[in-house]
Each structure stands twice: as C-alpha cells, then as structure tokens.
Amino acid sequence: MRRRQARSSIALLALVAGCSAGEGGLGHPGVGAGPVKPLTLEFENFLDEDVYIDWPGILPAIEVKRDAVTLMTDRGCIPYCGEGCECSTCTTPSRVRRIPAHETLSITWEPVHFAANTCNGSAECSCVESWPVTAGHYNLLLSGFTQAEGGTPTADNPNVLIGAKPGPRSRTCTARGEFDLVGGATVETKFICP
C-alpha cells in the first residue's frame, strides 16, 4: 500500500465580482475609473487542524500587489484625512483569526486601498485617504500558521484571539494567487505548510 505524504493546505477562493475598466493607477483614480464591486474571499481549511491568520482590523492581513506595488488594504486605527483629522496614538493589540479544521471563512472586501498622508500638513500626524482599486492584474498573498498558544477570545467572536502567538510546533503557511479585476473570476490558492 502506498503511503500518502501529508501536506497541509487551505484553499483560498476569491470570487471577483465585475469591475469596470479605468485608466487609474495605484494612487488616485484616473478619469473613467468606474465603481468597483465587492470581492468575496473564501478561505477553506482542508486541514485536520486549525489555521490562524493575522487579523488586524475587520479583514485578514492580506497583501495585494499590482505591478509589484503593495496596496494598503486595511487602515487599522489610522484616521482618515480631511476635516476633523487630528493626532492620536494608534496602537491595536495583536489579533489572529482561527479558521477551524474543515471549515470555510468567507469575507467581503470592498476593493479599496489606502494612501498614507499627513493630518493638516503635520509630519507627526498620519492619516489615510481611500481610493478604489481599478481594473488590472493583481497578486494576492495571505500567511498563516498552525498551533496557536495563548490568546483571549474577543467578546463578539470566539474565533478572534487577542495576544495569541504561534506555538513551538507551529508551521508557517502561505497562500499565493493571481487574479484579474475585470469581471467574474475565481482564484484558487493552497496554503503550503512545510
């Protein structure tokens, strides 16, 4: 009997809802940049163990690149620029999101990215401006790990843990995918946990 080599994997399925093409670059949208529809990202855990991903805000810590430029997809606690922008300390506790074995995490991402700026022209005060992600070819990266230790579940979601860290036998998992933001598409990427 041939023995199967155990490989840890999670499938990342990203359903890309339609987008209209535009001439915009990575920063400010260009003339003709149309509205961008939300993306549904589904993270399916095929493992017999839980996987943990960084969860700094309302989304996982996904890395999205276009033309080798990384887009800021989560502003964390950095305020928006504009009227009422003021200096504030921006610290958030370390959080991870557990994807239980054999379950799927589905999230909606409004395809926007954030450009860093300063509040009221002060170099000491950071703020962000929100810009739509325009049509084009993108690379996606999501990292995770197995076997977390410590951490306290949040009151609103027992799968989000504050202060959890990788355990001594934890393995690092990485998922990579590519997609074109021009219409319906599916991206399948497997986490490899060597």
Read off the pTM.
0.72
**Which SS3 state, helix, strand or coil, does residue 119 take?**
helix
- Flag whether 5 is in a domain: no
Domain limits for position 161: 10-190
Domain count, the chain: 1
Average pLDDT, the chain: 74
187 compared with 125, residue with greater pLDDT: 125
Report pLDDT for 97: 94
- Flag whether 131 is in a domain: yes
Q: Is the pLDDT of residue 7 over 50?
A: no
Render pLDDT for 142-166 as a digit per residue (tens, 0 to 9).
899 999 999 999 999 999 999 999 9
- Flag whether 2 is in a domain: no
Report pLDDT for 154: 93
Residue pair 103/111 in contact by the 8 Å Cβ criterion: no
Q: Is the pLDDT of residue 57 over 60?
A: yes
- Flag whether 3 is in a domain: no
Structure tokens at 62: 């996904």
Q: Is the pLDDT of residue 18 over 70?
A: no
Report pLDDT for 187: 54
DSSP string, 59-78: S---EEEETTEEEB---TTP
Instruction: Specify the DSSP class assigned to residue 4.
Output: P
Render pLDDT for 157-193 as a digit per residue (tens, 0 to 9).
999 999 999 999 999 988 777 877 765 444 555 666 7
- Flag whether 173 is in a domain: yes
72: left (phi over 0), alpha (psi -120 to 50) or beta: beta
The fraction of the chain above a pLDDT of 70, given in percent, is 74
Bridge partners of 28? Answer: none
Report pLDDT for 98: 94
Torsion angle defined by CA atoms of residues 62, 76, 133 and 129, in that order, rounded to the nearest 10 degrees: -160
Consecutive H or E run containing 181? none
Q: Is the pLDDT of residue 95 over 60?
A: yes
Q: Is the pLDDT of residue 9 over 70?
A: no
Q: Which residues are within 8 A (CB) of 115 and not within 5 positions of it... i.e. 6 or more apart?
A: 27, 28, 72, 128, 129, 131
Residue pair 111/38 in contact by the 8 Å Cβ criterion: yes
Report pLDDT for 146: 94
Q: Is the pLDDT of residue 25 over 60?
A: no
Determine the Cα–Cα distance for residues 124 and 79; give it in Å rounded to an integer. Answer: 13
Structure tokens at 183: 């219409």
Instruction: Specify the DSSP class assigned to residue 192.
Output: B
Determine the Cα–Cα distance for residues 90 and 79; give it in Å rounded to an integer. Answer: 9
Q: What number is the average pLDDT over the span 89-98?
A: 83
- Flag whether 75 is in a domain: yes
- Flag whether 33 is in a domain: yes
- Flag whether 4 is in a domain: no
Report pLDDT for 135: 78
Report pLDDT for 28: 45
